[in-house]
Amino acid sequence: MLANVNWLLADRLFRILVGLFVSVWMARYLGTEDFGRLNLALAIVSFFTVFASLGLDQILLRDLIKANSDSDRLLGTACFLKLLAGSCAYLLLTVILLLTDLQDPMVAPLTLILGGSLLFKFSDVVLIWFESRVEAKHTVLVQSAVLLASSLVKVGLILYGAPLIAFAWVLFAEAAITATALLLRYQTRGFRLLDWRFTLSAGKSLLKDAWPIVISSISIAIYMRVDQVMLGQMVGSASVGIYSAAIRLSESWFFIPVALVNSIFPKVLKLRERNTDEYLLRTQQLYTITTAVCVPVAAVLSLLSVPLIHFLFGESYHEAGPILALLAWTGIFVGMGVARSKWLIAENLQKIGVYYILIAMASNILLNFFLIPRYGPTGAAIATLCAQITTALIAPLFFSKTRISALMLGKSLSPLRWLALIKELRD
């Protein structure tokens, strides 16, 4: 597990160092207006990414862990479903763009190009397969190599003085090459893609458990990205550019709880059938570790937000400083959500999770309507933070079956528990 965590952390650190460097350079080169257009297009595509994923990733991971010998049937079925869903999602995106009058006409062609990545979401099944085997190094090497190549191309475009549309094409190519490379890596590990097979029974089983995740994922995508879309329509692309600069930095460290949870929970899950008390204890420890790591990072990022924005993005993005100070705290509740999502799937409670995700989504949209016209990007940041708190701690309390998880997450905020856990791990 520790080796797997190290690979995932190394991957995310590499992505931060390379991705942040290139993103900052792009933001300075493009300016707030074009940078906002690019991020607005990415936000729109993110809504349809949920449809392309079908909510299958965590269900597939669970089933692969439980029945590794049947992996060809599971992988083939999930791959076919994702390929079909990605094609339908891109078609739906195209139709909606043709029927919608966006405030900025340049956003539509950018969205169509970036939306092409939906056609390659089927390759995620390879990522899930390696994750189920706790062998992250194989996917890390592939994704890092493609990211490095893509970043070098982006730098070349900046030096060449390329237009905004060129960067969209590079992002599309990155998705296509990554998908191809992942499939090839699976083959070179001695496994055969031709052994994958689709079965109707497996498809029904996966979709039966996944549909609540689709609904909750749509809700998550909306309350995570609707602020950018609403900013673009209500204020303008420049405000999206400023807000996106803060978002990039606030989300840059979310890999930490994701890496911890993805590497540790598969082992915790195996305790569920053997020892319920041990399973609950280890789940509480996972929650505590996740929160104990997230709180200090969020605090430091919030305190350094203004000088960090000035240093990286320049004076033209100075409004992003206070926004980052607010958004930094969302990472704590994102970490809680990542940890709890695994527990929900293990307990087969994803149907209940849909309801409080919908509550958070509705509260975020409502707050955005009131706060964005008055406070602009700062209002959007306040709405996002409130939505994250609602999702992690407040809404689950209203449902008896998920109340225990909310209470456990609340306990994980106690510094005394952090110290006790450190002592226990040392012993």
Question: Looking at per-residue confidence, does 125 or 4 come out higher?
Answer: 125
- Structural domain boundaries, residue 257: 2-426
In order, the DSSP letters of 95-107 are HHHHH---SSTTH
Contacts of 63 (CB under 8 A, 6+ apart): 74, 205, 206
What does the CA dihedral 389, 395, 398, 403 come to, rounded to 10 degrees? -60
User: 248-268 burial, b if ≥16 CB within 10 A, otherwise e?
Assistant: bbbebbbbbbbbbbbbbbbeb
* Total count of domains within the chain: 1
* Distance from C-alpha of 16 to C-alpha of 274, rounded to nearest angstrom: 39
Radius of gyration, alpha carbons of the chain: 21
Query: Residue 158 pLDDT more than 90?
Result: yes
**pLDDT-based confidence at residue 321 (cuts at 50, 70, 90):** very high
Residue 304: its pLDDT value, please?
Answer: 93
**pLDDT-based confidence at residue 9 (cuts at 50, 70, 90):** low
Judge contact between 167 and 26, C-beta under 8 A: yes
Query: Residue 348 pLDDT more than 90?
Result: no
* Tokens found for residue 375: 């406070």
* Tokens found for residue 144: 């890092």
User: 335-346 burial, b if ≥16 CB within 10 A, otherwise e?
Assistant: bbbbbbbbbbbb
Report CA-CA distances (Å) from 48 to 54, 170, 198.
10, 20, 24
Give per-residue pLDDT as tens, 375-391. Answer: 899 999 999 899 888 88
State the pTM of this model.
0.75
Question: Looking at per-residue confidence, does 1 or 153 come out higher?
Answer: 153
In 68-162, beta strands by DSSP E: none
Give per-residue pLDDT as tens, 43-55. Answer: 889 888 888 887 7
* Distance from C-alpha of 174 to C-alpha of 169, rounded to nearest angstrom: 9
